[in-house]
Structure 1
Amino acid sequence: MKITIIGGGIAGLTTALALKKLGFECELFERAKQLNEVGAGIWIQPNAIKVLDWLGVGNLVRESGTLLNQVDITNAQLIPFKKTKQEVIQDERGNKIVAIHRATLQKILFEAIPEENIHLGYEFKSLEQKEHQVKISFGEREVLSDLVIGADGINSKVRESIFSNTSKRFSGQTCWRGISEIRLPDEFQNAGIESWGKKVRFGFSQVTENQVYWFAVIKASQNGTDNVNTLKTDLKNRFSDFNPWVLNIIENTKAEKIIRSDISDLKRLDKWHKDKVVLVGDAAHATTPSMGQGAGQGIEDAYYLANILAKRNPLEQALNLFESNRREKVDYVVNNSWRFGQMAHSDFGQIVMKTIMKLTPDKVMKQQMNKLYSIQEKF
């Protein structure tokens, strides 16, 4: 079976690695001419770490990022509403969350794939489903494939080519992300922090010895723009009542490197595949970032899809099985992430969530996290 992957982000690269591991012939096409250092940071949770270990790159990811011993939601002065015990946020194998620069993770995955299997500078134009194969057009180049995997993100052109009724759902929130050239004090060295103010959030973690990944979320109208000359001042004014370390993190970030993006997810699709084309990651089920599981669910998709295809079931049966294996967890993540994000920007919602956090026993919290961190071992 010849497989073509469209999209060279985390989901696409992981899918290519998983398929190669299981002996499939696959090629990946990415529109960018080179993989530049784009994006900010990312938290890779234990469910995704298990897959990366299976792929043989887990230890390199750990070594290239920062292991988080605690993840806390705090008030604006960085005082936790409830201190999270380390054992609650790690899985049964002791895997911890890894905070890492997104570009570093992408580079690790990219370099693990044979060079001849990746083609940069090819923008997807269209596809045509034929009786036995799919014809894919990248402009001047056409490719025939037995299976096409669309891994081209929330604005997927592959998705648009097979489904006509898809749409994004804007959360009413906008996020700024950046990498600050700063070293946090010892108490935050191995911590992931999300700090809540009045309808605003600020999160951060150390990703390298002298770099901190951060994000700032506020309610805002869609498609807003910034003045790069005043951006840092504007952000510091919005978070002026937060702990001074929050302001230091913003101040030590290059303004031109701060990324602004509206927070949206994808309206639930009835199916993720049509004939010989299947979607993975954000192309299939983009989520808001409140649970930190967007990339993780794309990585899980790669693992499940490759293993199910390896069973050599008829293609339609395999793709149906892939969806049935993934639906419950993906829906859980997307729905709860949306709910958490909305409640965190509501006065009443914050009260409710703080109360739940304080009253939920660690044992119950651990059970919930184990469910999120679990992956199927046998297929």
Structure 2
Amino acid sequence: MAAPSRTKVIIAGAGIAGPILAIFLKMKGYEPVVYERVDELADVGLSLCLQPNGLRVLSLIPGFVERIIGKPLEKIMHHSILPDESTVLVDSDIPALLPERTGFTLTGVRRPVFNRTIVEAAQEHGVEIVFGHQLVDLKESEDSVEVTFANGTKDTASFVVGCDGIHSNTRICLFGKEPVDFTGLIQTGGVSPTPEEFKQHPALRNIYADGAHLICYPISDTQTSWAITLREPEAKETWRAMDEERQQAFKNGPFSQWGFGTGGMIHAADRIIKYGLYDRPELKTWHKGRVVLLGDAAHPTSPHLGQGANQAFEDIYYLVLQLTRHNAAAAPPSTALLGTIFAAYEAARVERTSVLVRGARKQGENRVVQGVEACRARDREVREAWADADATLAGYLQLYGQPWPLDGKSEI
């Protein structure tokens, strides 16, 4: 007798979330296929900071964390640069304390390198990844979903998960086009050789100035990624490099004069990109019928808390958890059963991600203030927020000791 066919799942997007979800589904007995709109992985984007909540999920894939190329961080530092005044506001060892409490610490990774690692790991697990296929339409039947791609091809699966990021076509298919609002903030960033003064203690550094904020952290033994947030006219979310003339102007501009090692770092950048930060409407539900959203497709966030990828990994954990609880045999689920699974997944995730999205937006507003007195008030708030090291660590663990209790065990 032939073995029963596996339940096929189409995943839209081979970025940070899609291939990781595919690995988990493969391990649980499903047959995931990942479709990615671009023809090949490109060197797009800068970096991300993996945090304990995200790394705990990734650690459930045997051997995966060990192959991540990145740089563990030991400190979090905050500096202020104002006219005739440069100050260290905070010098915290919290990242060095996290391994004992969580098993993991903050780790800086270069996004394109991390993306390739994820895709390679998925392919090694037997996951099919198909490039050059952009989802443009969905048609549901009683027990399946037909997906149409921009090139005219079609495929059918039991259910579909949209992991196709902030410009999600899956989301548009479910809920229509939505207004997109420019936040008034833009980021300009790059990757540079790590300054000598940064090498002794790998740290996530925040630099506050009048009308500007810089964040930087190492992504390898020799490279540091950085991004400056400013209030400027609208810039599109292309994540592509600026032209050479504008890159040189930025490298030689006023930021190249900043202290604490940052000026030389900016001047030495190998490539500079510029992109606007946008808000999307907050969804109250992430699913419809046999289709569900995950990660940035469900809850796009500004980068100011460093939780975009980490929250996507939490999403993966809770979606797979509900699939395991309600469909342990990985059998083809009915639409009603998928409704139960997706609703339980949302119940665990919608409020948490909404709080973090709003928190990231507020963090960005608080960091980029103008006028010396307003900057000094901001600097006082930063100092006060970090004054009690024990309380700060406890607060961090409460927020990012997810997705399951630190003293408990994963259920998947």
Compute the TM-score of the two structures, normalised by the length of structure 1.
0.92
Give the match for residue 210 of structure 2.
Answer: 198
Q: Secondary structure at the match of 2:278?
A: strand
Whole-angstrom distance in 1 between the partners of 2:376 and 2:29: 51
Give the match for residue 67 of structure 2.
Answer: 60
Give the match for residue 19 of structure 2.
Answer: 13
Whole-angstrom distance in 1 between the partners of 2:113 and 2:58: 14
Q: Decide which of 219, 223, 228 is 2:235's aligned counterpart.
A: 223
Note the C-alpha offset of 1:235: 5.0
- Verify: 1:40 aligned to 2:46, yes or no: yes
Note the C-alpha offset of 1:8: 0.8
Give the match for residue 390 of structure 2.
Answer: 363
Whole-angstrom distance in 2 between the partners of 1:132 and 1:140: 22
Q: Secondary structure at the match of 1:316?
A: helix
Whole-angstrom distance in 2 between the partners of 1:126 and 1:316: 20
Unpaired segments of 5 or more residues in structure 2? 1-6, 328-336, 405-409
Moved segments of 4+, more than 6 Å: none
User: Are residues 350 and 51 of structure 1, via their aligned partners in 2, closer, same or farther at CA, if it must alter by over 3 Å?
Assistant: farther
Q: Is the 8 A contact 1:89 1:369 kept in 2?
A: no
- Verify: 1:239 aligned to 2:249, yes or no: no
- Verify: 1:319 aligned to 2:335, yes or no: no
Larger Rg: 2
- Verify: 1:306 aligned to 2:320, yes or no: yes
Give the match for residue 156 of structure 1.
Answer: 168
> Structure 1 stretch 68-77 or stretch 343-352: which is displaced more?
343-352
- Verify: 1:119 aligned to 2:122, yes or no: no
Residues 1-379 of structure 1 mapped to structure 2, 5 A cutoff = 1-56=7-62, 57-61=64-68, 64-76=69-81, 79-86=87-94, 90=98, 92-114=101-123, 117-138=128-149, 139-164=151-176, 166-186=178-198, 189-223=201-235, 227-243=243-259, 245-254=261-270, 257-312=271-326, 314-347=337-370, 350-360=375-385, 361-373=388-400, 374-376=402-404, 377-378=410-411
Q: Is the 8 A contact 1:4 1:148 kept in 2?
A: yes
Note the C-alpha offset of 1:183: 4.5
| Amino acid in structure 2 at the alignment position of 1:223 | A
User: Are residues 378 and 352 of structure 1, via their aligned partners in 2, closer, same or farther at CA, if it must alter by over 3 Å?
Assistant: farther
| Amino acid in structure 2 at the alignment position of 1:209 | D
| Amino acid in structure 2 at the alignment position of 1:355 | R
Q: Is the 8 A contact 1:88 1:362 kept in 2?
A: no
Whole-angstrom distance in 2 between the partners of 1:343 and 1:349: 10
User: Are residues 245 and 355 of structure 1, via their aligned partners in 2, closer, same or farther at CA, if it must alter by over 3 Å?
Assistant: closer
Note the C-alpha offset of 1:104: 1.5
User: Are residues 378 and 124 of structure 1, via their aligned partners in 2, closer, same or farther at CA, if it must alter by over 3 Å?
Assistant: same
Unpaired segments of 5 or more residues in structure 1? none
| Amino acid in structure 2 at the alignment position of 1:190 | P
What are the Cα deviations for residues 170-217 of structure 1, in whole angstroms up to 9, with x where unaligned? 221111121113444255641111111101011212212222111111
Whole-angstrom distance in 1 between the partners of 2:394 and 2:164: 33
The count of aligned residue pairs is 375
Q: Is the 8 A contact 1:166 1:269 kept in 2?
A: no
Note the C-alpha offset of 1:93: 2.5
Q: Is the 8 A contact 1:290 1:340 kept in 2?
A: yes
Note the C-alpha offset of 1:164: 2.4
What are the Cα deviations for residues 90-145 of structure 1, in whole angstroms up to 9, with x where unaligned? 26224110001111211111111135511111121211122221110113321111
Q: Is the 8 A contact 1:6 1:148 kept in 2?
A: yes
Q: Secondary structure at the match of 2:147?
A: strand
